Structure 1
Amino acid sequence: MFDRPAHSPIIVDGGLSTYLESEGYDVSTALWSASLLAQAPSAIEQAHRDFFSAGAEVAVTASYQASFAGFAAAGMTRPFAEEMMRRSVRVADHARAAFRSEHQDDDRPLWIAASIGPYGARLTGGAEYAGRYGLSVERLRARHRAEFEVLASADPDVLACETIPDIDEAEALIGLIEESDKPAWLSYTIRDGRTAAGQPLEDAFAAARDVDGVVAVGVNCCDPVGLTDVIALAGECSGKPVIVYPNSGESWDATARRWTGRPRYDPRFAPAWRDAGARLIGGCCRVHPPQITAVAAALTA
Structure 2
Amino acid sequence: MIDLVDTLARRPVVLDGGLGTLLEARGNDVTSALWSARVLRDDPAEVRAAHAAFIDAGAEVVITASYQLGFAGEIPDDDVEALLRRSVSLARDAGEAVVAASVGPVGALRADGSEYTGAYGLTLAELRRAHRRRLHVLSDAGADVLAVETIPSPLEVEALALELADLDVPAFVSLSADSTGFSATGSLTSALRTAASVRSVVAVGVNCCAPDSVPGALAGAPDIPLVVYPNTGETWDAATRTWHGGTAPLADDAPSWVAAGARLVGGCCRSTPADIAAIAAAVRG
The 5 A counterparts of 1:266-277 are: 266-277=250-261
Does structure 2 conserve the Cα–Cα contact (< 8 Å) formed by 1:8 and 1:299? Answer: no
* Stretch deviating more after TM superposition (195-204 or 160-169): 195-204
Structure 1 82/148 Cα, relative in aligned 2: closer, same or farther at 3 Å? same
Map of 1:211 onto structure 2: 198
User: What per-residue deviation string (whole Å, max 9, x for no partner) do you get for residues 193-228 of structure 1?
Assistant: x76342422211111233111111000000011423
Cα offset, 1:232, TM superposition: 4.2
Cα offset, 1:6, TM superposition: 6.9
Structure 1 34/221 Cα, relative in aligned 2: closer, same or farther at 3 Å? same
Map of 2:229 onto structure 1: 245
For the residues of structure 2 that align with 1:47 and 1:11, how far apart are their CA atoms?
16
Map of 1:297 onto structure 2: 281
Find the residue that maps to 1:152 and give its secondary structure.
helix
The 5 A counterparts of 1:36-185 are: 36-70=39-73, 73=74, 76-96=75-95, 100=96, 110-185=97-172
For the residues of structure 2 that align with 1:198 and 1:152, how far apart are their CA atoms?
32
For the residues of structure 2 that align with 1:293 and 1:278, how far apart are their CA atoms?
17
Matched, 1:285 2:272: no
The amino acid that maps onto 2:147 is A
Does structure 2 conserve the Cα–Cα contact (< 8 Å) formed by 1:188 and 1:195? Answer: no
Cα offset, 1:31, TM superposition: 1.1
Structure 1: which 5+ residue stretches go unaligned? 101-109
For the residues of structure 1 that align with 2:125 and 2:209, how far apart are their CA atoms?
27
Find the residue that maps to 1:69 and give its secondary structure.
coil
The amino acid that maps onto 1:269 is D
Structure 1 266/37 Cα, relative in aligned 2: closer, same or farther at 3 Å? closer
The amino acid that maps onto 2:272 is H
Map of 2:183 onto structure 1: 198
For the residues of structure 1 that align with 2:79 and 2:34, how far apart are their CA atoms?
14
Does structure 1 conserve the Cα–Cα contact (< 8 Å) formed by 2:189 and 2:217? Answer: no
The amino acid that maps onto 1:198 is S
For the residues of structure 2 that align with 1:153 and 1:38, how far apart are their CA atoms?
20
For the residues of structure 1 that align with 2:146 and 2:171, how far apart are their CA atoms?
4
Matched, 1:260 2:244: yes
User: What per-residue deviation string (whole Å, max 9, x for no partner) do you get for residues 32-58 of structure 1?
Assistant: 111112211000000000000100000
TM-score (norm 2): 0.93
Aligned residues: 280
Does structure 2 conserve the Cα–Cα contact (< 8 Å) formed by 1:244 and 1:280? Answer: yes
Does structure 1 conserve the Cα–Cα contact (< 8 Å) formed by 2:225 and 2:262? Answer: yes
From 12, 27, 31, the equivalent of 2:34 is 31
For the residues of structure 2 that align with 1:286 and 1:227, how far apart are their CA atoms?
17
The amino acid that maps onto 2:250 is D
Q: Percent identity?
A: 46
Map of 1:103 onto structure 2: none
User: What per-residue deviation string (whole Å, max 9, x for no partner) do you get for residues 42-81 of structure 1?
Assistant: 00000000000100000000000001233xx2xx432222
The amino acid that maps onto 1:38 is R
For the residues of structure 2 that align with 1:147 and 1:122, how far apart are their CA atoms?
12
Structure 2: which 5+ residue stretches go unaligned? none
Matched, 1:16 2:15: no
